[in-house]
């Protein structure tokens, strides 16, 4: 078997708090194959966002390793990490809070290229235009500011920025949960097409089981810092084993076909 793009082993994050330790992530392991996507699903406080932050080193791991392209990134020095960093990008939940309001969209999207000294053939500006077109925005809008765009368009800007470093892995932390339903579907489809066309891998962090199901080949269900169940999409959604997974699935409103009261009450 070929080596996975990302291999996470026994990852731990403990936060010291008054009178003890919060075991936010308490030993999780998973792998992401090139061109595949893995969803981590769970309720608030389960530790899923902490994993996302550790994958891009916004938070340091307490223990365990994160092997990306064969190297444990938790052990990399600053310089080495910088050479890897463009290939692991993150997309955040709040598209407004994660875009600098004083920078034009062109400048925002070019940022990973500037920071990492990437000089694409044809120049950065041309690359920015290509990226904007790729995520479904008008390339001529590169001189506009974030507030001139709708929520869904801002999330597209965030995705274009993530793509600017030519990533192999995109960590997406609740990428659609702040968006309107009709716009959510557009962004889900965009992420799918990017995976198809660019072969990029995703780690999708979400509380929304249906979104994870739409996007991910493999799914890990997280509860209180650990994975209670992990498996293929078909297994998790079709034949869940762990009671917590079953409880989550049962709680999704509209999980089945909509129940009609008319039938129930005969009115």
C-alpha–C-alpha distance, residues 169 and 34, integer Å: 8
**Least separation in angstroms between CB 66 and another protein:** 27
User: Alpha-carbon distance 33 to 202, whole Å?
Assistant: 9
- Residues with Cβ within 8 Å of 67's Cβ and at least 6 positions away in sequence, in order, are 6, 7, 8, 9, 73
Q: How far is the CB of 227 from another protein (least distance, A)?
A: 18
Nearest alpha carbon to residue 23 among 224, 232, 266, 250: 224
Binding of residue 256 to another protein (CB under 8 A): yes
Closest distance of CB 248 from another protein, Å? 6
Question: Min. distance of Cβ 189 from another protein in angstroms?
Answer: 4
| DSSP annotation of 102 | T
Containing H/E element for 209? helix 209-215
210 touching another protein, by CB under 8 A = yes
SS3 1: coil
Options 89, 153, 195, 245; binder of another protein; rule CB under 8 A: 153
What binding mask, one character per residue, do residues 19-58 give for another protein by CB under 8 A, x or -?
------------------------xx--------------
Q: Rule CB under 8 A: choose which of 29, 103, 186, 235 binds another protein.
A: 186
Which of 23, 87, 141, 213 touches another protein by CB under 8 A? 213
* DSSP code, position 259: P
Q: Which stretch binds another protein (CB under 8 A): 60-68, 78-86, 127-135, 208-216?
A: 208-216
Number of residues interacting with another protein: please give it, by CB under 8 A: 43
Q: Is 233 in the site for another protein (CB under 8 A)?
A: yes
Pick from 188, 200, 203, 219 the residue near another protein by CB under 8 A. 188
**Closest CB to another protein among 41 and 56?**
41
* Residue 133 makes contact with another protein by CB under 8 A: no
**Spatial separation of the C-alpha atoms in residues 47 and 49, rounded to whole Å:** 6
**Least distance (Å) between residue 165 CB and another protein:** 26
Beta carbon of residue 206, minimum distance to another protein (angstroms, whole number) = 10
Give the nearest distance from C-beta 216 to another protein in angstroms. Answer: 9
**Residue 198 interacting with another protein (CB under 8 A):** no
* Three-state secondary structure string covering 125-186: HHHHHHHHHHCCCCHHHHHCCHHHCCHHHHHHHHHHHHHCCCCCEEEEECCCCCCCHHHHHH
| Distance in angstroms (rounded) separating the CA atoms of residues 43 and 207 | 6
Q: Where do the DSSP E strands lie in the chain?
A: 6-17, 20-32, 37-41, 63-68, 71-72, 88-91, 169-173, 201-206, 218-223, 226-232
Is 250 a binding residue for another protein by CB under 8 A? The answer is yes
What is the binding site for another protein (CB under 8 A)? 43-44, 150-153, 180-186, 188-189, 192-193, 207-211, 213-214, 233, 237, 247-263
């Amino acid at each position: 078997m070929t080596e996975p793009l990302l291999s996470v082993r026994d990852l731990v994050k403990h936060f010291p708090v008054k009178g003890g330790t919060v075991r936010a992530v308490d030993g999780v392991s998973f792998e992401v194959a090139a061109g595949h996507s893995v969803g981590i699903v769970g309720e608030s406080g389960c530790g899923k966002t902490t994993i996302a932050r550790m994958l891009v080193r916004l938070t340091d791991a307490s223990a365990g390793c994160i092997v990306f392209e064969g190297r444990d990134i938790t052990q990399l020095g600053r310089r080495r990490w910088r050479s890897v960093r463009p290939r692991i990008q993150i997309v955040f939940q709040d598209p407004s809070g994660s875009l600098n309001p004083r920078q034009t969209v062109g400048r925002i999207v070019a940022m990973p290229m500037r920071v990492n000294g990437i000089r694409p053939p044809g120049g950065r500006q041309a690359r920015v235009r290509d990226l904007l077109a790729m995520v479904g925005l008008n390339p001529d809008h590169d001189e506009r500011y974030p507030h001139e765009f709708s929520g869904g368009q801002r999330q597209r800007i965030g995705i274009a920025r993530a793509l600017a470093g030519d990533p192999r892995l995109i960590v997406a932390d609740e990428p659609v949960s702040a968006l309107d339903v009709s716009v959510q579907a557009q962004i889900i489809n965009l992420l799918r097409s990017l995976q198809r066309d660019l072969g990029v891998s995703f780690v999708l962090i979400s509380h929304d089981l249906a979104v994870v199901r739409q996007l991910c080949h493999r799914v890990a269900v997280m509860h209180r810092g650990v994975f209670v169940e992990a498996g293929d999409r078909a297994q998790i959604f079709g034949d869940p084993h762990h009671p917590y997974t079953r409880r989550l699935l049962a709680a999704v409103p509209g999980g089945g076909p909509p129940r009609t009261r008319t039938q129930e009450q005969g009115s």
